[in-house]
Each structure stands twice: as C-alpha cells, then as structure tokens.
Structure 1
C-alpha cells in the first residue's frame, strides 16, 4: 500500500462524524477495488472504519461517485407532438399513478420508458445512468 491519501478537508458534523470529501472517498474506493488489496488494512491505514470503506466500494461500483450521478446534473428535455401514424402511448398502470400526471415517460423511436411516482431515487439514478450511455 504505502500511499496515504490526504483527507485534510475532513470536517466533522455536529454529531462528531467526519465528513470526508467525495474525491477522498472515490480514490479510496478505487484502491479497494484493486486485486489483492486488503480493504480492512487500507481502511486502517487511512483511519476509516472498514465497514464504511466497504460501503464506499459498493457505491463506487454502482457508479454513485461519478460526476454524472450527481443530483445537480439535469438532462435536457424537449416536448414534442406525437408523430402522425404512431399509436397513442398506453396509460400507466393504476398502481404507478398516485396522482394524475404523476411519473415520467421517455419515448424513443422503438421503445418507451415509464417511471411511476412510486420509484425510489436509486432506481431513477440507475435508469438515467443507463440512458446516458
């Protein structure tokens, strides 16, 4: 290992928990993903709880540390009229529409993606990340 990452920007919350910078989490998670690396030893070298580092590694593998997954990133949206000859979109099933007009529908040339109002944030991030590829 030998390399120790600096976490000088580590500020504590009112509860006394450290607030590590995202770049520190990302780099440590990247190192934890390397073959032959002991996650527990890496955590100990950097003064981080091993369970926390395992959590960061899961988040890193899920793409949650990517800039594209940041909650402030918005996708461009344009509203278009439905082309002539195309059948109207099917309505959302009753269990997905808590309120009239609730949910998101994204139409492509060969498929339509519908996300109901009951979708959680993790699923929504995963779907949007796949659409950006």
Structure 2
C-alpha cells in the first residue's frame, strides 16, 4: 500500500469502575430519584445507567433465587367426605346471573418469578397468591 501504515481507530469508550457504577445505580434506586438527572450529573447517557440498573437488579434476583430454600408450601385443609348412605341435601339454587368479568390475563413478575392468571379469578384467591409471593420474597 505505497508504504502507508494502516492503523486501527482508537477505542474511545470510557471505562467506568464498578464502584462508580454501583454508586450511581444505588442513587437511581432511591424512590423519587430521576435516572436522567443522575446520569446527566455524572456525565453519562441515561440509557447506560438504565442498563446498569437492569443488570444490577438481575444479579440481585439471581442471588435471591440461589439463597431461597425451595418452594413455599401453602396450607391445605381437608374436609371429610359426606357418607354415601346419608341423604344428600338439595342442591342450592343456581346463582343469579351476574355480570361476568371480562376474560383476560394478569401477569405478575416478582424478582424473576412470573405468575400468570388467566380467566376470571376471585379476589380472595388472588390475594392469597400475592401474599404467598410477598412472603417468599
């Protein structure tokens, strides 16, 4: 090539220490904190700080999953079956037709665990599942 030397472009990306990243992530996780303002004060792009936050929260979730002691058991109540020779009570009248909730899906992500509820679900059951998830977290 006519004696010209081909050079590679310099890597102009800045390298940030883990302590710097962690300090910014912790500041951004404070309730009411503005990620954009924190990033601007530090002289970095807000998208970079959002990425660091996502990676930090994922590492916390995976560490929590490793530390968990396994599945959570829910209380169960057994009811004695009615004797076959006893007369069965008259069936209750059918419930009055009420407006049904539209069918849909609820998806809840709690620290990497996804709970998906499809179709109509009564409020008490959903509360029980959510309490169990909060207790496990």
- Shorter-chain TM-score: which interval? 0.3 to 0.5
Q: Which has the higher helix share?
A: 2
* TM-score of the two chains, using structure 1 as the length reference: 0.39
